[in-house]
Chain A
Amino acid sequence: MRLNSERAFRIFSVIVLLILTIIAFMPFVLIFVTSFTDETVLIRSGYTFFPEKLSLNAYKYLFSNYYTILRAYGVSAFVTVTGTGVGVLITAMLAYPMARKDFKYRNLLAFAAFFTLLFNGGIVPSYIMWTRLFSINNTLAALIIPNYLMNAFNVLLVRNYYTGNVPAEVIESAKIDGAGEMRIFFRIMLPMSVPVIATVGLFTGLAYWNDWINALYYISSPVYYGIQNLLIRLLNNIQFLKSSQAATILAGREVELPSTGIRMALAVLGILPIIILYPFLQKYLIKGVVMGAVKG
């Protein structure tokens, strides 16, 4: 039975979301168009959706080094997939005990996790620990392990989901049937929490893909640059070369000065893979959402 208010609301939703989606996409379209705009036109008339003159120069400059870019994509992809896979798992594994009301340490763990969100010692102690104690500098592990593997925000999110959306009776009956905790976790908790797992997976994945800081501190060989790190370096090189400090050092030596168009092209290169892959990933997200809805 479809009520009138529901139909009206549905139409309302579509319209509003359509508007919001356009607002969300528009800047990206502008970036995309600008990356194909001729440089002189850009400086003369600013950014526009309908440039007078198009040019592939920005991409030509970037792709003259296509091997570097492809390799960077590879590094980012590997790091993202591995990090997300492992990270989501240990996040959920930590969240489950915290969600069990009969677990002795649930509040202690929750506090311990939460505390990490507020206090941190800064980059210096982390750097010392990771490079001296664990010697991960200049390895792929340096891109995966520090910072992004698990964070308390996600843990608390998953915990919340467990406590709110997984009835205690389900766990009770499983235990009565003789299931051990491991089994309960893998056979019951995980499948029942697909929406939040997918969410945490998405957040973690995006965090890895967008990270450029780990490489900044721990990587010295370009072999391990991820795509965002590469792009930031290129961008920064450009900015530094244009600064007054550079003027005294370079004293007018010949330097290729890429441009606004290139900045935009860099942004496009960083975002495009996600836009392309997202529809395929969405299959899982939607499946999860739908599955969650049809819960027995």
Chain B
Amino acid sequence: MKTAGKTKKSNSSTLPLMLLAAPGLIYMLINNYIPMLGIFIAFKEIDYSKGIFRSNWVGLKNFRFLFRTNDAFIMTRNTILYNIAFIILGTSCSIFIAILMSEISDRFCSKIFQAGLILPNLISMVVVSYIVYAFLNADTGFLNLSILKPLGFREISWYSEPSYWPYILTSVYLWKTSGYNSIIYIAFIAGIDKGIYESARIDGAGKFRQIFGITLPLLKPVIITMFLLATGRIFNSDFGLFYQVPMNSGALYSTTQTIDTYVYRALMQLNDIGMSSAAGFYQSIVGFLLVIGANAIVRKVDPDNALF
């Protein structure tokens, strides 16, 4: 026995289990790990006549553009804050929706609601940006024309005022993703043995007691998993959401610029493979370190639910 609490023995099921895992592993190796070696491009200055393998190594030169800018602080702050808001609000909304959905037994209603769950996610961000524009544009926007003006309020030039956008973008994000993500929680709730609810009911537990005493605790593993996975992507952002929806408006940069949009804008004309690879690497490394840390904490507190 190696470590206490872990029963790891090499037994007869190891081989067949490995066989089951094999196709997935091979795919992961080919699709993810071999190309991952290409990360070295982030440390090279690509000279096309030499090809990527023989170009010069330039250390951290390609990373400079991420830091030598006023925007470095803004873009990092925005990315992190939005992600934190998204994780907390998004998860709460999704769970809320999932619990509600589990109440619906009428088939027809259930179908309609389920369609509503995935529909927003099917609409691409470009089209979403047109819809938002239809609402918010200064000339013919629905909000200005049909709501603010009649009520006597001053019209707002939405695309020039950065302060509103954290709310706007968060709302758009929730609209687009909370239904879609709730499906995960619906599936897990469906897997809960209904007998537990029965006995709770017999013991006199009301609905709230049932939710907070049974449903949520049983969802804990998946919630923690989702949380840990989201932590790893804390330096990433949905490009469509932060570039298209604000209509690429310069006035809004202070609250809509994220690392991804900055990299895109900076490299649009330079077209430098090394620099874009460096940006991706930077995002990955930070996320990775954070997850390792978060996972270690989870492992101390609740070992069964750690990611690995």
Question: CB within 8 Å of B: which residues of A?
Answer: 1, 3, 5-6, 8-10, 12-14, 16-18, 20-21, 23-25, 27-28, 30-31, 45-47, 90-91, 93-94, 96-98, 100-105, 107, 109-122, 124-126, 128-129, 145-147, 149-150, 152-153, 155-157, 160-161, 163-165, 175, 180-182, 185, 193, 195-196, 198-199, 202-203, 206, 210, 235, 260, 263-264, 267, 270-271, 274-275, 278-279, 282, 285-286, 288-289, 292-295
Candidate in B126, B131, B190, B273 with the most chain A CB atoms within 10 angstroms: B190
Chain B stretch 196-238: residues in CB contact (< 8 A) with chain A:
201-202, 206-208, 218, 221-222, 225, 229, 232-233
User: Of B23, B113, B179, B287, which is within 8 A of A118 by CB?
Assistant: B287
Given A8-B207, A31-B131, A157-B225, do A116 and B32 touch, yes or no (CB 8 Å)? yes
Tell me the minimal C-beta distance from B277 to chain A in angstroms. Answer: 5
Q: How far is A10 from B24 in the complex, measured between Cα atoms in Å?
A: 42
Q: Which residue of chain A has the shortest Cβ distance to B145 in the bound complex?
A: A46
Binary CB contact string for chain B from 83 to 117 against chain A (1 if under 8 A, 0 otherwise): 00000000000000101110110010111111111
Q: Which A residues are CB-close (under 8 A) to B128?
A: 27
- B271 CB-CB contact with A under 8 Å: no
User: Of B16, B112, B188, B277, which is within 8 A of A121 by CB?
Assistant: B277
- B301 CB-CB contact with A under 8 Å: no
Tell me the minimal C-beta distance from B93 to chain A in angstroms. Answer: 9
Given A31-B123, A110-B308, A121-B277, do A6 and B207 touch, yes or no (CB 8 Å)? yes
Interface size on B, residues (CB 8 A): 101
Binary CB contact string for chain B from 162 to 190 against chain A (1 if under 8 A, 0 otherwise): 00000000000001000100011011101
User: Of B41, B114, B140, B179, which is within 8 A of A46 by CB?
Assistant: B140
Q: Which residue of chain A has the shortest Cβ distance to B307 in the bound complex?
A: A114
Q: How far is A67 from B33 in the complex, measured between Cα atoms in Å?
A: 39
Q: How far is A175 from B17 in the complex, measured between Cα atoms in Å?
A: 13
Q: Which A residues are CB-close (under 8 A) to B59?
A: none
Q: Which A residues are CB-close (under 8 A) to B207?
A: 3, 5-6, 8-9
Tell me the minimal C-beta distance from A10 to chain B in angstroms. Answer: 5
Q: How far is A60 from B307 in the complex, measured between Cα atoms in Å?
A: 52
New A-B pairs, 6, CB < 8 Å, besides A14-B103, A161-B222, A282-B115: A90-B27, A93-B21, A125-B35, A126-B38, A157-B184, A195-B191
Query: Contact between B101 and A150 (Cβ–Cβ < 8 Å)?
Result: no
Q: Which B residues are CB-close (under 8 A) to A107?
A: 308
Q: How far is A120 from B232 in the complex, measured between Cα atoms in Å?
A: 13
Q: Which A residues are CB-close (under 8 A) to B16?
A: 180-182
